[in-house]
Amino acid sequence: MGQWCPRYCHDLDMDAMKKYMCLICGWIYDEEKGWPEDGIVPGTRWEDVPSSWICPECGAGKEDFEMVEI
Ligand SMILES: [Zn+2]
Residues 6+ apart with CB under 8 A from 25: 55, 57, 58, 60
29 CA to middle of ligand 1, Å? 10
Res 19: pLDDT:
97
Q: Please name the residues in contact with 65: beta carbons below 8 A apart, sequence gap of 6 or more.
A: 20, 21, 22, 23, 29, 46, 55
- pLDDT tens column, 32-64: 999 999 999 999 999 999 999 999 999 999 999
Evaluate whether 67 touches 28 at the Cβ level (below 8 Å). Answer: no
**Which pTM was predicted?**
0.77
Around ion ligand 1, which residues have CB less than 5 A away? 22, 24-25, 27, 55, 57-58, 60
pLDDT for 27: 98
Residues 23, 67: Cα–Cα separation, whole Å: 10
> What whole-number distance in Å separates Cα of residue 47 and Cα of residue 31?
10
